Amino acid sequence: MPPFVLHVLQSTDLPPPTYLTRVARRRIIGASLVVTLLAVLLALGINRAFGRIDVVVVSVASALLTGVIAGSCWLIGQLRSGLVVATTGAALLAVSATALVVDLQPIPLATLVAQGASPSVGSDVLLGLAQLAAVAALVGWAAHRAIMLASPDRLARESTRAAQALVFTGTGTFHDALALYRPRPAGLRHALLRHDGRLRGPVAHGVVRALRTPVRAGFGLACLLAGSTLASVGTAWSGAADGLGPTSTWTAGAVLVYLGAGWISETWRSLRDELYLPALLGGRDGGAAVRHTTWPILASLVTGLVGWSASHVLLEATDLARGGPDVAASVLMALTVVVALAARFLREMKVQLPVETLTPIVTPFGDLSGLRVLAWQFDGLLTVMVSVAVLGVATPGSGVIVVAAIAGTCLWWGLERVDRAPWALLLRLRYRTGRTDREISRC
């Protein structure tokens, strides 16, 4: 709800469920319909059963109930963060109830379609649908209860944040809108300073920062592992066969590595702030770059090695490329990780939207200034995708030169965005664990 409307309603004697239930019901219906549509299309598309009425009815019913459960769990998680475990258990119970329909098969919706291919719908299918309906009713009641127990102060804060994110999105600064929903660091059990006041080492610094946002760091590690595995499979597969499959796998792996390298820690933005914002204690040296980039680079390299090892198992199991990744595929995979890290550095060094990107570009096809704004917003993602396309047609030797040029360009543009002279910063890349009292007083 808009902040002003919510403030007016909270200033009256109306109970919160009176004006919140309708909004929450619309959100649940919207989320449920999206999940239902995707589940039905996936299930019927995989099994090619669009012509069977009984199959369509069973699939739509099960998908609709699953969508209601998913939407209710989502709303509970938004309103009552302490009930995340309970809603996760309800979702698992829903999956288990659906799996009972098809003799405990792991993919409930797809196998429901296969089960419905029989002349009539059996009692086991009806029993599974009844269990899904019971779980949906239980989770829906919990969602309604969560609305009644919602904190007015938290609703006001969330409404204000959503309005700010909408303004940022309307003005084209998507990274500022996403920054409003970044997790807040918590858990100060480990300090960034030693007992004598000196800074910790670069690896310990990154680990402590990652532990303060454990959920985000966990997702980052998962994306790095999955991305490095897919990139290794894609590079090895592209050397053994041509087509859209190897390129898509390779690109998906590179994008996951790019995302995971940013989620693994908040050190990227700390580096940007330390380079761009005024210094508290005077001038700084190049130690900031070492202190903030060592952890994400090290984590990406280690997970890349683990993913490269896991790709051998996948390739042997699927027989996509005999013998696993060769030397050329391994080199391309390593270059993909380097490109993803460079693109992440370029993306995280953003500050405000440059005014020159809003100037019109008059062409016979109309004003194309919007394309320049989109390119500025998604420059990191575009860099990764273009780099993978170039590496796909290049040899490993020329790929090294191409990646070096791309990484150097990303580093140069990233430093230019924070108004730092690239050469002056590169000449001072020496790490210092702290300043003495005399240096601090002189600053």
Convert the pLDDT of each residue in 83-140 to its tens digit.
Answer: 555 556 666 655 555 544 443 333 344 444 444 444 345 566 677 777 778 878 888 8
Lowest mean pLDDT among 43-52, 119-128, 188-197, 220-229: 43-52
Rg of the chain in Å (alpha carbons): 26
Q: What is the mean pLDDT of residues 333-341?
A: 91
- Asked if residues 217 and 206 have their Cβ atoms less than 8 Å apart, the reply is no
Residue with tokens 């009844």: 130
Which range in 98-107, 321-330, 349-358 is most confidently predicted, on average pLDDT? 349-358
Question: Which letter, b or e, does each residue of 238-252 get, where b requires 16 or more Cβ atoms within 10 Å of its Cβ?
Answer: beeeeeeebbebbbb
Q: What is the mean pLDDT of residues 367-374?
A: 79
Confidence of residue 339 (pLDDT cuts 50, 70, 90): very high
More confidently predicted of 342 and 80? 342
> In angstroms, rounded to a whole number, what is the distance separating the alpha carbons of residues 418 and 276?
5
More confidently predicted of 181 and 325? 181
- Asked if residues 136 and 65 have their Cβ atoms less than 8 Å apart, the reply is yes
Q: What is the mean pLDDT of residues 365-380?
A: 81
Quote the pLDDT of residue 434.
46
Q: Which two tokens stand for residue 68?
A: 């209601």
Confidence of residue 433 (pLDDT cuts 50, 70, 90): very low
C-alpha triplet 361, 367, 370: angle, nearest 5°: 85
Lowest mean pLDDT among 15-24, 229-238, 246-255, 311-320: 311-320
Mapped onto helix, strand or coil, the DSSP state of residue 355 is helix
Quote the pLDDT of residue 343.
93
Q: How far is CA 264 from the centre of its chain?
A: 11
More confidently predicted of 62 and 410? 410
Q: What is the mean pLDDT of residues 363-385?
A: 83
DSSP conformation letters of 250-300: HHHHHHHHHHHHHHS-SHHHHHHHHHHSPPSSS---THHHHHHHHHHHHHH
Q: Which two tokens stand for residue 416?
A: 């230019």
Q: What is the mean pLDDT of residues 419-436?
A: 53
Residue with tokens 């994008």: 255
Judged against a pLDDT cut of 70, whether residue 46 lies above it is answered with: no
CA of 6: how far to CAs of 9, 149, 378, 379, in Å?
5, 16, 34, 37
Quote the pLDDT of residue 92.
61
- Asked if residues 344 and 272 have their Cβ atoms less than 8 Å apart, the reply is no
Q: What is the mean pLDDT of residues 169-182?
A: 80
Confidence of residue 257 (pLDDT cuts 50, 70, 90): very high
Quick count: other Cβ atoms within 10 Å of Cβ 179? 12
Quote the pLDDT of residue 122.
56
Which residues is 367 bridged to in the sheet?
Answer: 362
pTM above 0.75, yes or no: no
H-run or E-run covering 366: strand 366-367
What mean pLDDT is reported for the chain? 76
DSSP conformation letters of 204-224: HHHHHHHHTSHHHHHHHHHHH
Judged against a pLDDT cut of 60, whether residue 142 lies above it is answered with: yes
Which residues is 434 bridged to in the sheet?
Answer: none
Residue with tokens 């050329």: 328
More confidently predicted of 171 and 115? 171
Q: Which of 175, 182, 256, 178 is nearest to 213 (CA)?
A: 182
Quick count: other Cβ atoms within 10 Å of Cβ 87? 22
Instruction: Return the sign of the alpha-carbon dihedral for residues 267, 270, 275, 279.
Output: negative
Which residues is 363 bridged to in the sheet?
Answer: 366
401-405, long-range: CB < 8 A, 24+ apart: 403/335, 403/338, 403/339
Quote the pLDDT of residue 32.
78
Q: What is the mean pLDDT of residues 300-325?
A: 78
Quote the pLDDT of residue 112.
44
H-run or E-run covering 30: helix 16-47
Q: What is the mean pLDDT of residues 5-31?
A: 84
Instruction: Return the sign of the alpha-carbon dihedral for residues 120, 122, 123, 129.
Output: negative
Lowest mean pLDDT among 100-104, 238-242, 380-384: 100-104
Q: What is the mean pLDDT of residues 66-78?
A: 79
> In angstroms, rounded to a whole number, what is the distance separating the alpha carbons of residues 46 and 113?
9
Phi, psi of 285 (to 5 degrees): -110, -170
Phi, psi of 315 (to 5 degrees): -70, -35
Q: Which of 341, 339, 333 is nearest to 232 (CA)?
A: 333
Q: What is the mean pLDDT of residues 229-233?
A: 89
Quote the pLDDT of residue 94.
58
- Asked if residues 34 and 69 have their Cβ atoms less than 8 Å apart, the reply is no
DSSP for residue 193: B
Instruction: Return the sign of the alpha-carbon dihedral for residues 43, 49, 51, 53.
Output: negative
Quote the pLDDT of residue 104.
33
Confidence of residue 405 (pLDDT cuts 50, 70, 90): very high
Lowest mean pLDDT among 268-272, 280-284, 314-318: 280-284
Which range in 86-95, 236-245, 286-295, 404-413 is most confidently predicted, on average pLDDT? 404-413
CA of 125: how far to CAs of 31, 35, 65, 106, in Å?
25, 20, 14, 15
Quote the pLDDT of residue 237.
77
pLDDT tens digit sequence for 189-204: 667 777 777 777 888 8
Quick count: other Cβ atoms within 10 Å of Cβ 97? 24
Quote the pLDDT of residue 61.
77
Give percent of the chain with pLDDT exceeding 70. Answer: 74
- Asked if residues 197 and 434 have their Cβ atoms less than 8 Å apart, the reply is yes
